[in-house]
Each structure stands twice: as structure tokens, then as C-alpha cells.
Amino acid sequence: MRKLTPELFDYLSRRARVIFRNHSLPRWMVFAFDMGAVFLTFLFAYLLRFNFEMGAFSVEMAMRQALLAVGVYAGFELIFRSFSGLIRHTTIRDIFNVLLVTTSALTVLMIFTFASGLSEWREIFNIPGSILMIHFVTLNAFLFITRISVKMFYEMVSIRPVNKKNVIIYGAGAMGVIVKRVIGSDTENDYNIVAFLDSNKKLQNKQLNGIPVYNPSKLTESFLEKNHVKTMIFAINDIAPSRKSDIYREAVDMGLEVLQIPIVSDWLNGSFEVKQLKKIKVQDLLSRDPIQLNMKRIADGLRDRTILVTGAAGSIGSEIVRQLTRFNIGKLVLVDNAETPMFHLEGELLEHFAHAPVRTILADVTDQIRMDRIFKEYRPEFVFHAAAYKHVPLMEQNPYEAVRVNVGGTTIMTNLAVKYGVEKFVMVSTDKAVNPTNVMGASKRTCEQILRSRANLDGNTTQFVITRFGNVLGSNGSVIPIFRKQIEEGGPVTVTHPDITRYFMTIPEACQLVLEAGFMGSGGEIFVFDMGEPVKIADLARQMIKLSGYEPDKDIKIEYSGLRPGEKLYEELLTDKEKTLPTYNAKVKIAEVADFDHEATLAKTVSLLQSAYRLSEAELISKLSAIVPEYTSSNSKFQPELEKGKKEDSVEMEIFPD
């Protein structure tokens, strides 16, 4: 029999869990139960008041008064709806609602009794005060005990035979209390809260709902090991993103799984549930304080304007489009030659931004006739030029394409901007254009020089603006998607060099600054964005492995493959000769760049484009280096030609051929 008892208990618990999961008492039944309790406890109050002597009072009168009490209590229960909550999940709020009903009903019945003593009301209203008080106490005790008993029984039978995770909650404020309460009431979850962490000294070294509150400095590896803690739930809303990312990184470095709760607006039906806890992403480790934009200036500048975006289906271009849909623009013309990404972008815009007047066009920015027709038909007033090839290793292998698309596309677009009187032309550049060591960077540096040259030509009315920033998190082909795929496949995660660092921004952050800089510029400026501190790629790989629940170099290895051709160890946002000037936005600065011969640069560019496919790779690189003297390739096969290119004289030729 002893052996069967645990098995029987386990069977009954499973059956009870099934019943609780699939069924709950209808509200009318809870209401009827409460009214029955009011009636019976009222009669019990009479019996208790008269020492259980039935002959000492009129049973008929007691029954009538009991029915009167039921009527009064029913009215207040319908008003305060104390019957509407799930009894198995009874909370302090539910108990308060019950107390609100019973107190209100007692007050009304006392008024009836007092009024009946001053008038000739029927005897039914004259309920002795002692009866009312005994009834009030016994009814509350009965309702409280039954509700709490059902809740405790539910929690007892719902305990699953599994080992729960020990967790700490970072934040002992209102949000932390909500998380604790929800975890405590949801017996199906796998979490056991062992401590709160909070920087509020008034809460430290005290207990909150039976859980100790510690200073965040308590978060050490020895503390985690002692308490067998593997998970931290972050439960603070009003905190600077930069501070939050610091806390996340510290926790991840200690090997903690970090969960965060969604913003209140994303709670299910206005209530938070345990299943909404989500693991943080690598973007959360690198987040910074939000950018303050001059929204009025941007909105006024974009109102009713026709805007052309090239490379519209790419990572940066598509986010620029999303940012633009926030404003009251006249028409949005999107150009890209990638069919499938363009199809998906159009679907997204129709679903989420149906109000935006959008025209999607499949076209190549290097097709001068096609682009001329687009400019002629739509007459864009603003152009955001994001079309470009960006992958360093591919462009190192295909320098002709880097020149054709990046340099050639920019040349065509700037020509057409001048021809059709575009008001503002904003180009997205890259930190790889600074002291370039690869073909892609040199091609983008050439693009920068094209825009600066156009801006300085006599008679030009178009404001050519350059925005320069580093890597964006999660963009197509960036390290984060690559690392994520390698981790999913079990590793190894490949990093080119242990010391390689990069600047990072989120895509929305970068595109917001592109809009901001676009309306700062008057023409010819290079705007440099505050990218924060550079990040070691190896550290980023380790953090991503930990975020995925693995241990670096144990579960998943990190391997170093060596720098690729043209790849830098460190990226720069400015050359040695460049300094910056501040703007009204602390995150946007203007690069003070050295001047150069604008007409000669345009002439060399035209010469490069006209002869590109008649040149060998070596000759192509030589001509490119003549335009960008600071280009010093780390690709050994191009290095001799760079030296040769730096010695070439400028070529006199027609700048704007027919």
C-alpha cells in the first residue's frame, strides 16, 4: 500500500491538472455559491448569537432577513464583480473585491436597521447589529478560506515532478513584483526565484514577498555558483539603453541566460504571462541611448515631396523607406534590381504602410537610359542613394563590378540629379572608404569624391550630402547572421583574427541619422556618425555563443581563419588628416576633409569608367589608385599597381560626355 500511495497521488495530481487545465467554474456558479454562503452564514450568525437555541428567535423572521441580506449582497457582487475571477488564481485584488462587496452590503444593512428604528418599517428590516457583525466576520472568513483553499489545492496538484531553474530578478520595483507574482501564480513554469537585485538602497537587505533583495554588486560568479543560478530575468523599464546593455553584457559574460519582458503595450490582453519572457538578442548587448532627432525639421522638409531611394530593397535602403513612411511625403519611388527582395518589401509596405504613396521599380542604377526615364517621369526632389556592392572579399575578387556599380552607378545618379534639378542628394557611404585597403573601400571613397566634386561645380544647385558610418547589426551578409548560422550548425564559429574590431550600429539607428544628416547638409559635407566604442569580433562571437546556451571553446569552438584580402584589422571613421566639426546633434559630426582638384577627379573617374573593361585588373587598380591616393591595398596582387597608379598624371578630358 505504501508503494502505491505515491503512484496514486501522482495519478490523481495528473487527473486534477487535466481537469483544471480544461475546465473552470462558470461565473454564474461562483455567484450562486457566494449567495448560498451569504444565506447560510446569516442563519449561522443567528444560531451563534442565541447559543444555538432554536426557540430563542423566530426562524421565519431569520429566513426573511437572510433573503434580504442575499438581495443586498447580490447587488454589490454584481457591481464589483467579485465572482468573475478564476478562483484557482485568486490574488490580493480578488480578496479586496470580496471585502469591498461584504463591507458595502454591511453598511447598507446597518442603514436599514437604523432607519427601521426611526420609522414604522416592517420588522424584516430591523436586523440586530450583533447579527450583522457576526455575519460579516463569518462570511468573510468563509469566502476567504474557500478561495485560498482552492488556490492552494490547485498549486499542490499542479506541482510537476521536474527540477525548476533557480533565477534572479534584476529589478525589485513594480515590474519586478509583477514578474514575481506571475511566476508564483503560474505553476506550470520552470522558474524558482531565489533573489532580487536592485540599486535602490531602501530595498536592499530586505525581503520582498519573502524573497531577499540584494545590491547588484552581489552578482558574482561565486554567488551564482552557490545558489545554482543559471538565469536572470531583467524587469526594469525606465532605464537608459546603454546602462541596460552594460548589465546584459556583464550577465552574459558570467554565463547567465538573460530573459527580458516585453514592453507593456505588447502584453497579451493587457496582462503579462510567463510565456512572454524572451531571451535577449545580440543587438541588446550593443544598444545605446535613443537618438534625438529634429523631427519637425525632417517632417517639414519631406512634406509633399517626391523621394527616390536606390538600393531600396537592401538592408539600409529598406529601413530608410520604413523611416520615410512615418512622414507626410508626396510620393516614394523605390528602385532596386533585386526582384525577390523588392517583392517582399512591396508586400511589407502594402501590409503595414498602405497609406504611403509608393511606386516600386525594378531597375539598375548603372542603366543610364532607364534611370533617365525614371527621373524624367517622376522628377524626384530628394534622392537617397543606397545602391552599392558592399562585400569586401567579393569586390576584391570582382573589382570590375565594384567600379561599374559603385562608381558607375553613383556617376550616373549624380549626373541625373544635376540634369533634373534634384534639391538634395544623400549618399550612404562607409567607414571602409577611410584610408581604404580594399577595392570596395576605394570605390566608395571615389563615390565620396564624385559627390564633393559635383557639389563644387559652378552652376550646381543640388545639395550633395555624404553620410559615413560603420557596420550595421543584422544587415545582409554581416557577421551576426553568419555567426548565428554557424552556431545553429554546431560550429565552429569563424573569426578572421583575434584582435579584429568593428564599429556597430543598429539599422534603424543608422537610417535615422541618415535622415537627420540629410537635412543638416547644404552640400559637399561628409557627415560622420557617432558609432560608440569599437567591438572585438571575437568577443561578439563568444557572447552570441553564450546567448545560444552554449559555452565558447567547449560546446562550440571559435576558429581564426586569418584576415581576408583587403580586410583591415581596425576600421576608421576619419583619415589622419580629417577632423570633425560639431552639429546640433551630438551623434552627427561633419568631417573636415582635405580639398582636391574636383575637375581632375571627375575626369579621372570618367576615364576609369570608359576604359574599365578594356583594362587588366592591374591596370584597373592603377587607375583607381590615381583617383584615391590614400588607397593602400592589403591584397598582395594589387600592391605593385597601386604604387604605379600614384605616379600617374591627371588626364585632361571631357568631364560630361554625351
Amino acid at the residue 119: S
Distance CA 197, CA 347 (A): 45
- On whether both 96 and 131 belong to a single domain, the answer is yes
Amino acid at the residue 532: G
Which of the residues 432, 444, 587, 604 is marked catalytic? Answer: 432
Are the beta carbons of 437 and 393 closer than 8 angstroms?
Answer: no
pLDDT in tens, 550-601: 888 888 889 898 887 767 777 766 665 667 777 777 778 888 777 888 888 8
Residue 496 lies in a domain: yes
Q: Indicate if the pLDDT at residue 369 is higher than 60.
A: yes
Question: What's residue 333's pLDDT?
Answer: 95
Q: How many CB atoms lie within 10 A of CB 20?
A: 17
What percent of the chain has a predicted confidence (pLDDT) above 70?
84
Residue 426 lies in a domain: yes
Name 167's bridge partners. 193, 231
Residue 289 lies in a domain: no
Amino acid at the residue 628: V
Cell of 393: 572579399
- On whether both 242 and 96 belong to a single domain, the answer is no
Distance CA 558, CA 247 (A): 24
Question: What's residue 270's pLDDT?
Answer: 58
pTM of the model: 0.66
- On whether both 424 and 558 belong to a single domain, the answer is yes
- Through-space distance between the first and last CA atoms of the chain, rounded to whole angstroms: 101
Question: What's residue 155's pLDDT?
Answer: 62
Distance CA 499, CA 142 (A): 69
Confidence of residue 4 (pLDDT cuts 50, 70, 90): very low
Cell of 98: 470580496
Are the beta carbons of 568 and 497 closer than 8 angstroms?
Answer: no
Please state the domain count of the chain. Answer: 3
pLDDT in tens, 398-434: 999 999 999 999 999 999 999 999 999 999 998 888 8
Distance CA 341, CA 353 (A): 17
Q: Indicate if the pLDDT at residue 22 is higher than 80.
A: no
Are the beta carbons of 487 and 545 closer than 8 angstroms?
Answer: yes
Residue 576 lies in a domain: yes
Question: What's residue 406's pLDDT?
Answer: 95
Distance CA 536, CA 544 (A): 13
Q: What is the average pLDDT score of the chain?
A: 81
- On whether both 195 and 123 belong to a single domain, the answer is no
Domain range enclosing 512: 295-643
Name 580's bridge partners. 591
Residue 371 lies in a domain: yes
Question: What's residue 338's pLDDT?
Answer: 92
State the CATH number of the domain containing residue 491. 3.40.50.720
The DSSP result for 81-135, as a single string, is TTTSS-GGG--HHHHHHHHHHHHHHHHHHHHHHHHHHTS---GGG---HHHHHHH
- On whether both 57 and 31 belong to a single domain, the answer is yes
Q: 537: exposed, middle or buried (C-beta count within 10 Å: 0-12, 13-18, 19+)?
A: buried
Which range, 23-27, 36-40, 259-263, 649-653, is most confident? 36-40
Distance CA 480, CA 493 (A): 11
> In b/e form, how buried is each residue of 390-405, taking b as 16+ CB within 10 angstroms?
bebeebbebbebbbbb
Say whether 429 sits in a helix, a strand or coil: strand
- On whether both 524 and 548 belong to a single domain, the answer is yes
Question: What's residue 474's pLDDT?
Answer: 63
- The question of whether 331 is a catalytic residue gets the answer no
Which range, 346-350, 440-444, 564-568, 588-592, is most confident? 440-444
pLDDT (mean) for 340-348:
91
Indicate the residue among 218, 248, 280 that finishes a domain.
280
- On whether both 200 and 56 belong to a single domain, the answer is no
- On whether both 374 and 318 belong to a single domain, the answer is yes
Indicate the residue among 280, 304, 332 that finishes a domain.
280
The DSSP result for 523-553, as a single string, is SS-EEEE---S-EEHHHHHHHHHHHTT--BT
- On whether both 257 and 310 belong to a single domain, the answer is no
Phi and psi, residue 276, nearest 5°: -85, -5
Residue 654 lies in a domain: no
pLDDT (mean) for 311-333:
90
Question: What's residue 3's pLDDT?
Answer: 47
What is the strand order of the sheet 526-529 is part of? 358-362, 331-336, 306-310, 382-385, 424-430, 463-469, 526-529, 588-592, 579-582
Are the beta carbons of 109 and 72 closer than 8 angstroms?
Answer: yes
Distance CA 20, CA 376 (A): 69
- On whether both 169 and 102 belong to a single domain, the answer is no
- On whether both 131 and 60 belong to a single domain, the answer is yes
Indicate the residue among 254, 280, 306 that finishes a domain.
280
Question: What's residue 658's pLDDT?
Answer: 36
Residue 650 lies in a domain: no
- On whether both 110 and 199 belong to a single domain, the answer is no
Residue 649 lies in a domain: no
According to DSSP, residue 420 is labeled T
